[in-house]
């Protein structure tokens, strides 16, 4: 098994129960998960970590999810942002116009194995900004 500290980091930012369970002793296939419960905590963690993926709940109650994505774009332009939501907000795709580093917008209720597969793909793919 690969050393967890050498694996790509996924920063999960949300107020509710995590979609990905962070367990330092049992890393996911190909990445290590870290959790921030607020905008302020996420920003502070991005000074210490270099996340490959930032998974942000659009329902974040303590801060702005768009500000977290914007800070990730500034501090770690190579990080891929994935937004989760349980509403139809941004279902028209306009979210991709607001944030150049967003690579996916998924339903909060996505099963954990599917979310792990999606996040693992983006953690390995890297590369930052979307083309175009």
**pLDDT score of 115:** 87
Residue in the structure block whose two tokens are 């502070």 = 44
The SS3 of residue 119 is: helix
Is residue 44 domain-resident?
yes
What confidence score (pLDDT) does residue 78 get? Answer: 92
32 belongs to a structural domain: yes
In a domain, 100, yes or no: yes
Which strands, in side-by-side order, build the sheet including 9-13? Answer: 32-36, 9-13, 51-57, 80-85, 102-107
- Give 12's contacts (C-beta < 8 A, 6+ positions apart): 18, 19, 20, 22, 33, 34, 35, 36, 55
Rounded Cα distance, 21 and 73, in Å: 24
Domain presence at residue 132: no
Beta carbons of 56 and 65 less than 8 angstroms apart: yes
How many angstroms separate the CA atoms of 61 and 74, rounded?
A: 22
In the chain, the number of structural domains is 1
pLDDT tens, position by position, for the chain (132 residues)? 455 567 889 999 998 766 665 554 445 567 888 999 999 999 999 999 999 999 999 889 999 999 999 999 999 999 999 999 887 665 666 666 777 888 888 888 888 888 888 998 998 886 544 444
Residues with Cβ within 8 Å of residue 6, at least 6 apart in sequence: none
Contact of 53 with 33, CB cutoff 8 Å: no
pLDDT of residue 101: 86
Domain CATH for 116:
3.40.50.2300
Domain range enclosing 104: 4-125
Residue 130 included in any domain: no
Q: Is residue 68 part of a domain?
A: yes
Res 132: pLDDT: 42
């Amino acid at each position: 098994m690969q050393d967890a500290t050498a694996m790509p980091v996924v920063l999960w930012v949300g107020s509710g129960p995590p979609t990905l369970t962070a367990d330092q002793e049992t890393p996911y296939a190909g990445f290590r998960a870290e959790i921030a419960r607020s905008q302020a905590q996420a920003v502070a963690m991005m000074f210490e970590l270099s996340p490959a993926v930032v998974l942000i709940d659009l329902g974040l109650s303590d801060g702005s999810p768009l500000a977290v994505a914007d800070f990730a774009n500034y501090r770690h332009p190579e990080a891929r942002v994935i937004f989760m939501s349980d509403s139809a907000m941004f279902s028209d795709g306009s979210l991709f116009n607001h944030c150049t580093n967003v690579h996916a917008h998924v339903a909060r209720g996505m099963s954990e194995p599917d979310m792990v597969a999606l996040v693992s793909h983006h953690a390995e793919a890297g590369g930052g900004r979307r083309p175009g």
